[in-house]
Amino acid sequence: MTTKVLLILLDGLRWDVAQTSMGYLAHLLEVRQASLYKVQAELPTLSRPLYEVLLTGTPVAVNAIGANDVVRLSHQRSMFHLATAAGLTTAAAAYSWFSELYNGVPFEPWRDRDQHQSDLPIQHGRFYWQDSYPDSHLFADAEMLRQAHHPDFMLVHPMGIDDAGHRYGSDTPEYRGSALATDSLLSHYVPRWREAGYTLLITADHGMNADGQHGGVLPDVREVPLFCIGDAFVPGTYREGLSQLAIAPLMCRLLALPLADAMQALPIPGYEPQGENAVVFPAQVDPSTPLTVSEVSIS
């Protein structure tokens, strides 16, 4: 059974803060309406390279987007390319770098903020270019696009958590407060999007260190969350460490799309696909065991 997929990319959200400062998502875990995976981000832990990782399922050694200042179109077949090739509708409310990766370069704000063109990989887009663009506006942009165009695959990409981390560092009230604020926004939109038939994947590109930086290899910048909300997932918290390269192939399977040649179908514990021909990977937690608060705290 084909579903619709909404990828919510919370830029700069580290694993531990996702557990301690996202109370609404923790509630969904407690009532067994969500799953949480610990994901290991690819290297380098920089934004543009990891945007490419998440949307193409390829490492930097393959895609060659190795730094934030590599400004060009992707050479890979992204989720947007695969979806449009299959006749699906795509959309994104996201940072301008996504437009540069998949629709065209250079990004000109006056020309490219709003894009609606059926022959582009991102067919319907509203893009911002300042890191301080409010998350509240971004989520409203996303809902406007969803209601207007009913996309089968959509990217929602707020920057508020990352912006707070760069300004103040990760061990600060401002960074944690930004996560709390984004979680509150999710409490308004998640029920609406679930009711509209979407499977939601909520993740981050990278984390943030106490210095307000990322790009290195330590857990504070490399460990990020993946919340999965949908019928194809056994509720639970999975701490084994999932490769970030698994996310794009997972979205392909949810959308009943063939994987791009450069993607690898990696096991997803607790994923129970709805399609007849999908590969089932066994869960590694007991779905009959009730979740407790400790199961959604820092490991």
Classify domain 4-296 at the CATH class level.
alpha beta
Q: How big is the chain, counted in residues? A: 299
pLDDT at residue number 280: 42
Q: Are 203 and 39 in contact (CB under 8 A)?
A: yes
Mean pLDDT, rounded, for 188-214: 99
How far apart CA 79 and CA 89 sit, in angstroms, is: 11
Phi, psi for 196 (deg, rounded to 5): -80, 0
pLDDT in tens, 108-164: 999 999 999 999 999 999 999 999 999 999 999 999 999 999 999 999 999 999 999
pLDDT in tens, 141-150: 999 999 999 9
pTM score of the predicted model: 0.92
User: Residue 281 pLDDT more than 60?
Assistant: no
How far apart CA 32 and CA 22 sit, in angstroms, is: 16
Q: Are 129 and 95 in contact (CB under 8 A)?
A: yes
pLDDT at residue number 282: 35
pLDDT in tens, 25-39: 999 999 999 999 999
Q: In terms of DSSP H, where are the helices of the chain?
A: 15-20, 23-30, 47-56, 60-63, 79-85, 96-102, 109-112, 135-149, 160-168, 173-195, 219-222, 247-254
Between 255 and 273, where is the model more confident?
A: 255
Q: pLDDT grade, residue 298 (50/70/90)? A: very low
Tokens representing residue 2 in the block: 């084909």
How far apart CA 269 and CA 5 sit, in angstroms, is: 19
Mean pLDDT, rounded, for 175-189: 99
Q: Report the chain's mean pLDDT, rounded to a whole number.
A: 93
Q: pLDDT grade, residue 3 (50/70/90)? A: confident
Q: pLDDT grade, residue 273 (50/70/90)? A: confident
Among the listed residues 226, 159, 178, the one whose alpha carbon sits nearest the alpha carbon of residue 7: 226
Q: Helix-strand-coil percent breakdown of the chain, rounded to 5?
A: 35, 20, 45
Poorest-confidence range of 2-6, 91-95, 176-180, 290-294? 290-294
How far apart CA 155 and CA 118 sit, in angstroms, is: 16
Q: Apex CA 47: angle with CA 46 and CA 51, to 5°?
A: 125
pLDDT in tens, 212-270: 999 999 999 999 999 999 999 999 999 989 999 999 999 999 999 999 999 999 999 99
How far apart CA 66 and CA 84 sit, in angstroms, is: 26
Show Cβ contacts of residue 190 under 8 Å, excluding neighbours closer than 6 positions.
24, 28, 200, 229
